[in-house]
Amino acid sequence: MKYRWNVLSSLPDQVEQLAAQLGVIPLVAQLLLQRGLDNPDQARKFLEPSLGDLHDPLLMKDMERVVERVLRAGQAGEKVLIYGDYDVDGITATVVLKRALEMLGVAVDFHLPLRLEEGYGIQTPVLRKAQEDGCSLVITVDNGIRAFEAAEASRELGLDMIVTDHHVPDESLPSVYAILNPHRPDCSYPDKNLAAVGVVFKLVQALFGKVGKQDVVHHFLKLVAIGTVADLVPVIGENRIMVHYGLRALVDPRNLGLKALLEGSGISGEVDQSDVSFRLAPRINAVTRMGGGREVVDLFSVDDPIAAQAIVQEMNTKNTLRRQEEARILEEIEDRFNQDPKAFDRDFLVVAGQHWHRGVIGIVAARLVERFHRPTLVLSVEDTFCQGSGRSIAGVNLLAVLDQCRDQFVKYGGHAQAVGCMLGQEFCSGDKIEQLAISLEDFVKPQLTPEKLIPSLPIGGYLSTEGISLSLFEAIDQLAPFGIGNPVPVFASKKMDVVSGPWVLKDQHLKMQVQSNGSRLDAIWWKNGAVADTIDPGSQVDLAYTMSLNSYLGKKKLLLTIQDINLP
């Protein structure tokens, strides 16, 4: 077993009562209760998302001020610069805002930072060039909430700056024209979980509502869904509503660029959150990770299908290069582990390498967290600075950890679970990096109980092998879309008969067939092919798994994706 199986409980009487009130099977009611949805009206809204339940965007602090300023810019013929960010959330937010302002007749340009050259944050030279090009208003998306120097520079240049962001602010706010961020202390907006593209969508709602064009706002939800899912914010509240409708609309994309991206990602028909996470988002991210820039925004503005296909083909090429770089760095780290396993026996991992590709170190950090279950910071050591990217585990706020060592960073920012940072030239030596690692570990160690260091696997309930069916899956799928805050339900079954296999697919994945209700079910455990040698054909195993649906030649078939195995 790789995990501690944490079987979630619900009171049987509550389950039966909620199931009767909602007209759902008891297992669905049980899953709702495990998600804290014990109120029938609240649970019904969860199962039946409605655009009518979106909050009034004017509830967000500074929203009226921002709407007035943007519309005034359009009326006066002012030129507006959108200052974007280079991840999927920032890119989709840039596209949504750019398209919305163009529809309102605002003269607009955008700047998408080059990830490898500029890094995260607002650069003063870009503001200076915007002013020289005639811009009088700058709107940031997915950045700016800690941009104190940029705020001062914008004032000196005579630029009004509007910050739209969803990152946690510092102790004070930058002095700018206006700030849209649900996390600012003086903002009473009801939903604090919006991604950057969600914040931008609320602005678009307010703008189009002001000019009487509310009926077109829903067209933006396709990109909102992609950015929200990719940014790993909780898929609850407004995010759930926007993702629900956005994913449904992706079945019939009208935008040539979006259509080409779906086709180039091998997606046809219905789109779910896994398609976004594992097909769309990596391709969008790959552009900026591997040195590209504006083309990923331009994709959604092209009016020639051949041009759109060319951009998507380049995205696929960059995604292949990204995978190769990621594999190379992970192989180097694996060699280090084999030579000195004790170096990885720490409560906070800091791993550094010379000239590691800065576009992929965030993915590498995520892979190391999956393997070692420790908060991790991966550093690329350059000639004059270090670029870092970190990922965390549940219960450890990584941004708060970096706050404790802020004097050691040139700059940093991010979320509780993911951060980016830059360190000065003095960290280009191993000794200084080791001192940082010790400082981070000293702060984290008191927070890490033994239980936190062993990953927990929440189990929604035990199922009998006879109970696993296509109709059961369809009932459970009412809880989709899944994500943070509403995870894909994991179930467990004891003593399942291995009736065929196990086999190893592509030298890395485990596949076998298990008996269920008189038929065979395929079960796959990704990247765990090494376990095949421990399972005897014809034996029995306890499985923890999720269920998904495979469609082949018009036939639907259940697939069990293994999360963990216990050999009785």
| DSSP notation for 192-243 | ----HHHHHHHHHHHHHHHTT-GGGGGGGHHHHHHHHHHTT---SHHHHHHH
Which contiguous run of DSSP H or E holds residue 557?
A: strand 555-566
CA 51 to mean position of chain CA atoms: 22
Print pLDDT tens along the chain (568 aa): 689 999 998 899 999 999 999 999 999 999 999 999 999 999 999 999 999 999 999 999 999 999 999 999 999 999 999 999 999 999 999 999 999 999 999 999 999 998 888 877 899 999 999 999 999 999 999 999 999 999 999 999 999 999 999 998 989 999 999 999 999 999 999 999 999 999 999 999 999 999 999 999 999 999 999 999 999 899 999 999 999 999 999 999 999 999 999 999 999 889 999 999 999 999 999 999 999 889 999 999 999 999 999 999 999 999 999 999 999 999 999 999 999 999 999 999 999 999 999 999 999 999 999 999 999 999 999 989 999 999 999 889 999 999 999 999 998 888 888 999 999 999 987 789 999 999 999 999 998 888 788 889 999 999 998 889 999 999 999 999 999 999 999 999 999 999 999 999 988 999 999 987 778 899 999 989 989 999 998 899 999 999 998 877 678 889 999 999 998 7
Distance (Å, whole) CA 549 – CA 64:
45
pTM of the predicted protein model? 0.91
Predicted pLDDT at 553: 66
State the angle between helix axes of 88-103 and 281-289 in degrees (0 to 180), rounded to the nearest 10: 100
Distance (Å, whole) CA 259 – CA 264:
9
Task: Kindly report the CATH class assigned to 456-566.
Answer: mainly beta
Could you report how far apart the first and last alpha carbons of the chain are, in Å?
Answer: 11
Give me the half-sphere count of Cα atoms (radius 13 Å) on the Cβ side of residue 376.
Answer: 22
- Please give the CATH architecture assigned to the domain spanning 340-447: Roll (3.10)
57-249: CATH number = 3.90.1640.30
Nearest to 284 by CA among 305, 260, 255: 260
Q: Do domains 57-249 and 456-566 have the same CATH topology?
A: no
Give the number of other CB atoms < 10 A from CB of residue 158. 8
For 501, phi then psi, to 5°, come to: 90, -160
Distance (Å, whole) CA 387 – CA 120:
10
Nearest to 322 by CA among 365, 281, 286, 272: 286
Q: Are the beta carbons of 272 and 247 closer than 8 angstroms?
A: yes
List the domain boundaries for the chain: 57-249, 340-447, 456-566
Q: Are the beta carbons of 142 and 183 closer than 8 angstroms?
A: no
Distance (Å, whole) CA 548 – CA 495:
21
Instruction: Retrieve residue 500's tokens.
Output: 């065929």
Distance (Å, whole) CA 300 – CA 168:
29
Distance (Å, whole) CA 317 – CA 315:
5
Q: Under 8 Å CB-to-CB from 342, ≥6 apart: which residues?
A: none
Predicted pLDDT at 347: 93
Rounded to 5°, the CA angle 181-182-184 comes to 70
Distance (Å, whole) CA 86 – CA 94:
10
pLDDT digits (tens, 9 = 90+) for 490-501: 999 999 999 999
Predicted pLDDT at 118: 83
Predicted pLDDT at 47: 97
Q: Are the beta carbons of 339 and 366 closer than 8 angstroms?
A: no
Distance (Å, whole) CA 318 – CA 299:
15
